[in-house]
A and B are shown apart, each in its own frame.
Chain A
């Protein structure tokens, strides 16, 4: 034990960790806000092309993915209650459902993207270029925004797996649930962004 690490461990402030996590969430929100600005400007300039391009996306797949993410958000929120009620087994089940939902979301996303690639709808493809500027921008934004969102899902999967392992070996319990709480907040953020992405890409008519 040396002096430095001794200091670190004396002080534990869960409120500070939570506030820090919220500030990080604000950063993430502004990151996506930048993209929403770009989206709204280009949609304003290419209204017709955007709604025609959006018809190529499957509303069914989008809706299923939305429901999947909502369920996963609810289960990780329930896990924060379960751990405080000292119900380790139920916590693990809930986190397991969350993880499963996240993986299913990614699988759906994979097939959706692959379908678009097969039709030649990817940035700088010849088909897309022949379709005109509105479509180019729509699909550029579609891949960029859902791609960045999917990247966040992957980070979330890693994070929740770590939480799951730590709950399982009891290093995360009702006395020290802050990592679970913060992972939950992060996961809700991912959900929150999708709640806006879904109508903007799948539902415009």
Chain B
């Protein structure tokens, strides 16, 4: 028995035999690495669904008037695209996949603090997804409010709001459980010698993210419950006819949903902070500045929610305050960009796919961030509010920022997760198509927005036709690039060359263990003496 156990702990986490067999060995496993992969497979499934919905929307917009769908369908499609992409893909995205897989390994632990709670949060995620998507198959059809569920329309519409709202509520729970787990893990399970300032930057960003998940998610939870109460009992919280204030709904919704953007982007920044030093073969420039800016983003990000509501009718005092605070939160993000660029300065850079993703992340994140400044200024916001400009800005941050970082992370940690290398030439081709397609898709939308094309309409006037054609074609290039990337990775996971422990020359703890890691990650818990990026 004990003989068998000791041999078991030396096989890869993918191969060991537990209590269950086959599929059950995965969906009932409390191993953080298997849970990370469960999240990865579920998220990729939903991501592809969301992408197809996005492609369908762009196809509708290729010409004015009705092209492939009627307005009601278009409303449902953009709502589903938003709900799936935000609640099912991007919010869990990096923390649940790479956080689960690598947080314990990077801080020198055998698992997270509460492994069973971790499995529960995946199950809650699946439950939330099923509840949210059940709205598709019920009479009345999918919701048509947009992912923001704005009151009062969200409790007046006859579409299936309840499942969507309840699904989002349940998904919030999953997010909170992950956050609690990670914060406790980081507090309690760091390896001996790893004090706070020897912790790598990806765990640091997960720490900031964990706190936002714990402190912001409940606010949207209660808000969605109020919408449920409103629909079931007609209480009047946000109904002007009963004295309620719809703008209060917007306040509460954005008190969560703005910090949620930082739940998305912080771990993305963390992944970039891991990739750049490894491929620059150089210690990160200004480690403490990156740490402090992470915490500053998490903190200040909590108080800027009002910049989504500049045209809703808030008081002047609130407008100025939110605009000022929005400008403040740009500072720590800019500090990080300077740190990444300085890390690459005079470095001998290895040009590998993860680095291409990181470099293009910097490019799109800067465009997204600077266009955000334009939206944070009160005067320009009035002009740009609810136009295609906002859509372009948002996708440059969330698809460009988080999406590129996710792709970078998967190419960076691929050899560690699957123990095999992928074809770097095909990966680079895929990246290039994806990047070019992305720019063709979204850059014209800035232009359309400035010219006044509103978002969330299935139709537009003739003078917007040209840029819309280009934009739609961009979506096809992007899609082909995505297909190349995914096919390459799936093929390589089975047939790629066997990877060594440290194919890129990384210095953090995950590169000291086997590829793929064994069940308990470390045979002996390491003692940490040096900082995380000790290159020279």
Are any A and B Cβ atoms less than 8 Å apart in their complex?
Answer: yes
**Interface positions of A (Cβ within 8 A of B):** 1-8, 11, 13, 15-16, 19-20, 23-24, 26-28, 30-35, 37-38, 41-42, 45-46, 123-124, 129, 132-134, 136-137, 140-141, 143-144, 148
B236 in complex: contacting residue of A24, A27, A37, A137, CB < 8 Å: A137
A-B contacts, 8 listed (Cβ < 8 Å): A2-B18, A8-B30, A16-B187, A20-B117, A23-B183, A42-B245, A133-B242, A133-B243
Q: Is the CB of B19 within 8 A of A34?
A: no
Q: Is the CB of B242 within 8 A of A23?
A: no
The verdict on A136 contacting B243 (CB below 8 Å), with A4-B31, A7-B520 known, is yes
Residue of A nearest to B11 (CB): A3
* Chain A residues within an 8 Å CB radius of B248: 37-38, 41
* Chain B residues within an 8 Å CB radius of A24: 180
Closest 10 CB pairs of A and B: A133-B243, A31-B218, A140-B235, A34-B222, A124-B234, A30-B218, A16-B188, A123-B233, A123-B235, A23-B180
Q: Is the CB of B113 within 8 A of A20?
A: yes
Bound: A35/B220 CA distance, A: 11
B184 in complex: contacting residue of A19, A26, A28, A148, CB < 8 Å: A19
The verdict on A123 contacting B236 (CB below 8 Å), with A3-B18, A20-B114, A133-B242 known, is yes
Bound: A134/B16 CA distance, A: 63
Give the interface size class of chain B: 35 or more
Q: Is the CB of A144 within 8 A of B226?
A: yes
**Interface positions of B (Cβ within 8 A of A):** 1, 5, 8-9, 16-19, 29-31, 110-111, 113-117, 176, 179-181, 183-184, 187-189, 214-219, 221-223, 225-226, 229, 233-237, 242-245, 248, 251-252, 255, 519-520
* Chain A residues within an 8 Å CB radius of B181: 20
* Chain B residues within an 8 Å CB radius of A134: 243
Bound: A34/B216 CA distance, A: 10
* Chain B residues within an 8 Å CB radius of A5: 19
Q: Is the CB of A6 within 8 A of B18?
A: no
* Chain B residues within an 8 Å CB radius of A8: 30, 115-116
Q: Is the CB of A27 within 8 A of B214?
A: yes
Bound: A24/B120 CA distance, A: 15
Q: How far is the CB of A125 from chain B (nearest CB, A)?
A: 10
A38 in complex: contacting residue of B110, B113, B252, CB < 8 Å: B252
Q: How far is the CB of B9 from chain A (nearest CB, A)?
A: 7
The verdict on A136 contacting B236 (CB below 8 Å), with A16-B184, A34-B219 known, is yes
Residue of B nearest to A13 (CB): B188
Q: Is the CB of B9 within 8 A of A3?
A: yes
Q: Is the CB of B113 within 8 A of A16?
A: yes
Q: Is the CB of A34 within 8 A of B116?
A: no
Q: How far is the CB of B443 from chain A (nearest CB, A)?
A: 38
Bound: A5/B256 CA distance, A: 37
Q: How far is the CB of B231 from chain A (nearest CB, A)?
A: 11
